[in-house]
Structure 1
Amino acid sequence: MSSDFPVLQRKCLGCPALGDLGRWYECVVCGSQITLCGPCFDLGKNRVSPKHKYYHPMRALYNKKMADIYFGGEVLVNGEAPQSFKCPFCDDMGFTAEELAVHVQEKHSTHPDASALIEILETMSNGHMGSFGSARAHHLAMEEQPLGGVQAPMDEEEDKKSTEIRCQEKSRGGLSYEVILAEPAPNVAVPKRPVTPGKNVSVEEIEQKLKAAEERRISLEAKKMADISTKLAKVDEATRKKDEITNEFITQTKEQLESKMEQHVEKREAIISDMKEKLKIHAQEIEKTRETLEQQKANEQKAIEEKLKIAQTLRDENIKKMLNRLKEHERRAELVRQNKAQTQDMDGQQNAIASSG
């Protein structure tokens, strides 16, 4: 994975996803021809084909956003994100390339595909991840040959015309070469190797060769263990630095939070004091308003009582006036009745005199 995190347009073989896949997986041997997005790889959609074998390691790649999510704060070795591989023979997980090679040698050395996987892992362990372009072309060319046959040689001029080399920078300090070979020429005679005459080998020479081979094996294992120890030391150092950065971040965050909490408490106490003062002033104003309203009520009640007294006095006077008027009216009515009676008496007397005359 490049440290520049370019935006790559990829097509997932397991689903219609196309473009920037965020987190995706590519075959170490087949390259970008075998690309799976993260969800499809997690669901086990890594389908094999005549060219893509089941034991080919799949390398995880990330864009800038996903790399920050998965490895934010980590120190990446050589700008590469750490890889974790699964054993294709027993499905054990969590191996680096070196650890997987040792695991396959110890546990699955008799498996028919163990030697091919170990060769791929040794190439990866030696830091030649970028050379898998040419190795992939050679691997595919060897797989395309028919069983029991050997690809016929081509002359130099035809080789130049039919061979194409593509180079692309895959990681810091490494190049990835993709070699496209021409189709094998049909009906070409295969040259036969000269027969090597037999050689008598003594038991001592065989023992010496076996001893030398054992020494080379021990030396190779010691070298691999030393490399593994060095890489584990680097991983421990990176883990330690990550822990230091994390602890420092936690400490700073805690201090900032405590400072913000103190400021918040101070602000809260100031707000509460201000609210108490305002409530006190408001209560005083309410008390003054209540006293004023009570005084106004007393004054209004007194005024109402005075008005009621005045109204009672006026009512009594009006009643007396009305009684006096009724008495006067009654007296006048009595005079009118008396006058009317007298008038009637006088009219009767006149009528009687007139009738007698």
Structure 2
Amino acid sequence: MSLSDETMKSSKCLGCPAEGDLGLRYECIVCGESVTYCDKCHGGGKNKTCGMHKYYHPMKAIYNRQFFELYFYGEELVDGEAPQSYGCAFCHELGFTAEELQLHVLEKHAGHTDAPDLLDILNQMNEQKKSTEIRCQEKSRGGLSYEVILAEPAPNVAVPKRPVTPGKNVSVEEIEQKLKAAEERRVSLEARKMAEISIKLAKVEEATRKKDEITNEFITQTKEQLETKMEHHVEKREAIISDLKEKLKIHAQDIEKTRETLEQQKANEQKAIEEKLKTAQALRDENIKKMLDRLKEHERRAEVVRQNKAQTQDVDGQQQSPIASSG
């Protein structure tokens, strides 16, 4: 099954650590789910030879329900399979069905060393995919070849053999009738193809609309989340700024208090120094006064001593004079 109803099926990508529901994954047609790559690794060219797995093994795309609706919204499955597209492992050209890839390898890469093995795998794939459809080819008057499906595919139904045309001359009227019938079938087929194209275009438009809705919803949600984060960031920034302002205000108040305290201390110290200077000046004046008083006292005493000495010298002179006269 290329559409997995088990949306949470656990798968392990060989190219990266991705594990679990890969959404869109690629499994090897030959090796099975043991060789699984996620969409990113498969698109990035990480499909390499490892063990029994070869680089040229076709890889089948398997979608979970969400991815299938995204890629093939409303499109009906063919035998339970989603449409598959294979790439050429030799020239990396994309967009082949299994039959087209087989013809491409035969025409372009028949001489490649791995071409026989790949052709065997593609042949087995095409044999398994064959179904009995009753088809016939018509050729229009303009030379265009087109195919008319006369019945839906049905298993185990033998294809009826075309009746042998009797060898007779065909009249102009019969030819005109056949041409007219062929033209009617061509018009019917073209109308049917146009209807199918219209349905597919409608599906594409619906898928595009759904994708746009998902994208717009994602953009809206992302925008709302970003706006919420920005608002939260602005609120957080404003709270941080307010907190910083409050801290700065408290710090400024502390600085002002400290400045006032220092000025008060400075004033007190200056006052104390002035008082000490006054006290020292008073003590100095008092000491100077005391020294002057002592000097005055000393001068007075010295004067007294000089007077006493002068008097003593006068008395001694008077005593010596009589003695000298008597001698």
Instruction: Give TM class, smaller chain.
Output: 0.3 to 0.5
Structure number with bigger Rg: 2
Q: TM-score, normalized by length of structure 2? A: 0.44
Q: TM-score, normalized by length of structure 1? A: 0.41
Q: Which has the higher contact order (CA 8 A, sep 6+)?
A: 1
